[in-house]
Amino acid sequence: MSAQATYETILYEKDATDKFATITINRPDKLNAMNKTVIREIDKALAAAVADPDVNALVITGAGRAFSSGYDLQGGDFDVDIDFWRADMGENAEALLNIWRAPIPVIASVNGYALAGALELMMCCDLAIAADNAKFGEPEVRHNSGPPALMMPWLLATRDVRWLMYTGDLVDAEEALRMHLINRIVPADQLKEKTENLARKLARMPVPALKFTKASINNQQMVAGLLPSFQYNIEAIAALHVTRQGREWMANLAKMSLKEYLAFRDGPFKDLD
């Protein structure tokens, strides 16, 4: 069965010669914005890859000119209570944690924008290769929101975490490399080739070696408190969304076009670099 026949918003393709697969977020007209269908289909494809003895490594990327612009801000019901947000944040966080938990290595191949929830998805992957035109950031703080899965403090120095999370600024690939958001930068026209070379390398490794190495690395983060920190963040962001300002921002989103909303959100910060 073809990937297109199985999924609506992603492509799932196994390599013809090596034991790796690729998940491609396939909403290029929306800059691969992630709605619930995208999140659930990534989770479904991830489970298929993990269960397949012919898949030893996985790549996640985006179609077109973006990895993903983050969670889809259009089409949702935002006049909701804290219980809704707690459940919503919890589902999203669990799907991203499933990437982190996967017993096979997962590579993020980043073309263009990796923003907000998509940046968290990228950080839940084991490794990240970025095109030289990639942009990274957590701009949702500017509209009184935050990420459901707060992986950033587990990867970056606290000063860099605070800068990205407090300002909503975007950084380029060179700055992302300095911060250890990514492992490597490659020319945009070589991204697919270099990512697949890494996937082939990992797919040819002894499978138990990577499985147990990943489990040991993850265990260090768990012992240090990663899972309770995620749960705290879910509660914090759910509460944030039902504050007075949170409800005001959600009301603006409901009545504005996305273009108007982003201009309204980012307007006060122009020329402040």
- For 36-52, how does the pLDDT look when each residue is reduced to its tens digit (9 = 90+)? 999 999 999 999 999 99
Give the predicted TM-score (pTM) of the model: 0.95
In 3D space, the residue among 81, 33, 28 whose CA is nearest the CA of residue 258 turns out to be 33
262 pLDDT tier (thresholds 50, 70, 90): very high
Q: Which residues are catalytic?
A: 120, 140
Which whole number is the average pLDDT over 4-17? 89
Helix 226-241 × helix 207-223 angle, to 10°: 60
Which whole number is the average pLDDT over 236-251? 94
Q: Given this model, what pLDDT does residue 254 score?
A: 86
pLDDT of 138 strictly over 90: yes
Q: Given this model, what pLDDT does residue 232 score?
A: 97
Q: Given this model, what pLDDT does residue 79 score?
A: 79
- Which has more pLDDT, 224 or 149? 224
Identify residue 158 by its one-letter amino acid code: T
Tokens found for residue 186: 């490659």
- Which has more pLDDT, 73 or 25? 25
pLDDT in tens, 247-259: 999 898 888 998 9
Q: Given this model, what pLDDT does residue 84 score?
A: 94
Output the average pLDDT for the chain.
95
CA dist., res. 265 & res. 16, Å (int): 45
DSSP state of 74: S
H or E stretch including 180? Answer: none
Q: Given this model, what pLDDT does residue 218 score?
A: 98
Percent of the chain with pLDDT over 90: 89
Which whole number is the average pLDDT over 191-215? 98
DSSP state of 5: H
Residues with Cβ within 8 Å of 140's Cβ and at least 6 positions away in sequence, in order, are 70, 116, 146, 147, 168
Q: Given this model, what pLDDT does residue 223 score?
A: 98
CA dist., res. 36 & res. 41, Å (int): 8
Which whole number is the average pLDDT over 153-162? 98
Q: Given this model, what pLDDT does residue 25 score?
A: 98
Task: Identify the CATH number of the domain defined by range 10-269.
Answer: 3.90.226.10
Q: Given this model, what pLDDT does residue 70 score?
A: 95
pLDDT in tens, 70-96: 999 887 667 799 999 999 999 999 999
**β-bridge partners, 128:** 108
* Residue ranges with strand state E in the chain: 10-14, 20-25, 57-62, 66-68, 106-110, 113-115, 127-131, 135-137, 170-172, 184-186
pLDDT of 140 strictly over 90: yes
